Amino acid sequence: MTGKSTAIATNDYDVIIIGSGMGGLVTATQLAAKGAKVLVLEKYLIPGGSAGYFEREGYRFDVGASMIFGFGTEGTTNLLTRALDAVNVSLETIPDLVQIHYHLPNNLDLKVHKNYDKFIDKLTAKFPHEKVGIRRFYDECWQVFNCLNAMELLSLEEPRYLMRVFFQHPFACLGLVKYLPQNVGDIARRYISDPELLKFIDMECYCWSVVPADKTPMINAGMVFSDRHYGGINYPKGGVGTIAEKLVEGLEKFGGKIEYKSRVTNILMEKDRAIGVRLANGKEYRAKRIVSNATRWDTFEKLLPSSRMPKKEIKWQQRYEKSPSFLSLHLGVKSEVLPTGTECHHILLEKWEAMEDEQGTIFVSIPTLLDPSLAPKDHHIIHTFTPSYMKEWQGFSDQEYQHKKEEAASHLVERLEKVFPGLIEGLDYQEVGTPRTHRRFLGRDQGTYGPIPSRKLPGLLGMPFNRTVIPGLYCVGDSTFPGQGLNAVAFSGFACSHRIAVDLGL
Ligand SMILES: Cc1cc2nc3c(=O)[nH]c(=O)nc-3n(C[C@H](O)[C@H](O)[C@H](O)COP(=O)(O)OP(=O)(O)OC[C@H]3O[C@@H](n4cnc5c(N)ncnc54)[C@H](O)[C@@H]3O)c2cc1C
């Protein structure tokens, strides 16, 4: 066993989960529902991680995610609905009929409506010469989605499930096998040649995958580009944080436990097998299986000795790099800043060349347009964020850091003012978060949003599943298949819990 402990807790658990992000909580609730004895250890004060919240002066701000997929009522890809159902909890959601209002270079102003035909018509009106290509490209995304949405989504590491699902849905399975190694860019170029439209497809990918179409797996795009018109985008009443709160309620109903302010510092090993964890306060817990909801970099470089990093992880780190983190601005504004008809989610970019740059693309979310209870009367929340690397924020004195934060915030607000005139006048509250904030509060190396391909890879083939080369240790969350996003990490949670349940004979 590694190191020394100051206190040993002897309680045995079936499964310990490090972290209560959405990936960790879905794994925990699924396993508790199957009868496993589960303990979740969360370093922060509340659950949710990147899908958490914080409150200031009457505003309830979402930390990160706010465009929520997975709350549909039909099919099999509505994984958040299913995760809540599994532990007998539910929450009210508010449909968002426009996924994104794009404000792009050359006056490309476009809304992605929930109604598929309406979206296709609006896009075609901007690029009439690409009418056929637009329809063919997005229809092909539906083919991917229809395959996924035909089957129960569980662990691809479980051979009996794979056999069962293949016999039940042979064509859907073959369809997925075909798309698994493909990226969006190659498929888009088969149908579309207008360079500006291809830039738009790049942005359609970048705004959730943080890489352009050439590096974005077709499986993920099939989900996003179709589910927004199928299950749609739905915002949880009370804010995104309620999803995690409800899952915890469900976990506890089924006998699971969660402990906050419990930072895991080490995964304990015995004969090369993961057998427990040690907390910062020295307390140790043991379990038959250990799951890390921390990123792979945090898991294999910090919770385990980096000197013994498995070869497989070294290879993975060569294929995938850390995406940038974000500069986030949480604003409270007077309601008159937003004219009637303003949409909840916006993407802003002034020059195509800047799409992937430090503080290039701007993301905006105004959840109070859907749920006014999140802000004081006659006020709105504007959460805006833009990709930013840790290196931009290091090596400063406290004073310099504060100054840089203020400067960056003003610049962001000035850019937003062009879309929301009167914003500066109407500001009521402002809080700035940097990559350092993301690292500190979310425990994510460099504050990263997650892994991105370091070069063009064959679709999703390189993303690891939940088992690791260390017996007894599993990973869940956005550094496992199929990647970032709440519904995606919920998928990872379903898969991880399924594999563990089979391993434990539950
Ligand atoms: C600004 C921003 C905007 C986003 N917008 C969207 C969106 O609109 N829609 C969408 O679907 N997705 C969005 N995402 C992505 C989405 O939020 C994430 O992909 C997802 O929430 C990640 O979940 P996770 O379970 O993998 O990890 P995390 O949310 O990172 O959770 C990991 C948890 O583990 C805890 N932890 C880490 N290390 C330890 C340790 N050693 N001991 C104990 N606990 C530990 C952390 O405190 C945290 O609670 C956004 C993300 C960000 C940052």
Instruction: Identify the domain containing residue 285 by its residue range.
Output: 7-52+63-91+237-320+453-504
Cα–Cα dist 18/24, whole Å: 7
Q: Give the torsion sign (CA, 246, 207, 443, 384).
A: negative
Per-residue pLDDT of 208-240, as tens digits, reads 999 999 999 999 999 999 999 999 999 999 999
This prediction has a pTM of 0.96
Per-residue pLDDT of 337-359, as tens digits, reads 999 999 999 999 999 999 999 99
Total number of domains in the chain: 3
Answer yes or no: is pLDDT of 31 > 50: yes
Cα–Cα dist 222/145, whole Å: 5
Both 401 and 359 in a single domain? Answer: yes
Using CA positions, which residue lies closest to atom 50 of ligand 1?
65
Ligand 1 mutation pick, 69, 240, 293, 431, max ligand atoms within 8 A of CB = 293
Both 204 and 312 in a single domain? Answer: no
Q: Give residues (CB < 6 A) around ligand 1.
A: 18-24, 41-44, 49-51, 64-69, 263-264, 293-294, 298, 326, 328, 385, 442-444, 449-450, 477-478, 484-486, 489
Mean per-residue pLDDT, 402-422:
96
Residue 345 CA: nearest ligand 1 atom is: 8
Both 314 and 333 in a single domain? Answer: no
In a domain, 98, yes or no: no
In a domain, 191, yes or no: yes
Relative to beta strand 283-292, strand 7-18 is: parallel
Per-residue pLDDT of 351-410, as tens digits, reads 999 999 999 999 999 999 999 999 999 999 999 999 999 999 999 999 999 999 999 999
Residues 6 or more apart whose Cβ sits within 8 Å of residue 488 = 220, 223, 478, 482
Q: What is the pLDDT of residue 308?
A: 82
Ligand 1 mutation pick, 26, 50, 281, max ligand atoms within 8 A of CB = 50
Per-residue pLDDT of 450-491, as tens digits, reads 999 999 999 999 999 999 999 999 999 999 999 999 999 999
Last residue of a domain, one of 231, 247, 263: 231
Mean per-residue pLDDT, 87-110:
97
Both 314 and 330 in a single domain? Answer: no
Helix, strand or coil, per DSSP, at residue 340 = coil
In a domain, 96, yes or no: no
Both 36 and 181 in a single domain? Answer: no
CATH code for position 44: 3.50.50.60
Angle (CA) 175 177 178, round 5°: 65
Both 170 and 312 in a single domain? Answer: no
Cα–chain center distance at 192: 29
Q: What is the pLDDT of residue 4?
A: 45
In a domain, 107, yes or no: no
In a domain, 14, yes or no: yes
Answer yes or no: is pLDDT of 3 > 70: no
Last residue of a domain, one of 231, 254, 283: 231
Phi, psi of 409 (to 5 degrees): -65, -45
Rounded to the nearest whole angstrom, what is the distance from the C-alpha of residue 493 to the centroid of ligand 1? 13
Both 295 and 394 in a single domain? Answer: no
pLDDT band of 65, cuts 50, 70, 90:
confident
In a domain, 425, yes or no: yes
Both 219 and 129 in a single domain? Answer: yes
Both 135 and 212 in a single domain? Answer: yes
Both 214 and 147 in a single domain? Answer: yes
In a domain, 378, yes or no: yes
Nearest to 19 by CA among 274, 277, 275, 313: 277
Both 252 and 187 in a single domain? Answer: no
Last residue of a domain, one of 231, 252, 268: 231
Answer yes or no: is pLDDT of 11 > 60: no
Rounded to the nearest whole angstrom, what is the distance from the C-alpha of residue 196 to the centroid of ligand 1? 33
Both 170 and 24 in a single domain? Answer: no
Contact between 98 and 115 under an 8 Å Cβ cutoff? The reply is no
In a domain, 337, yes or no: yes
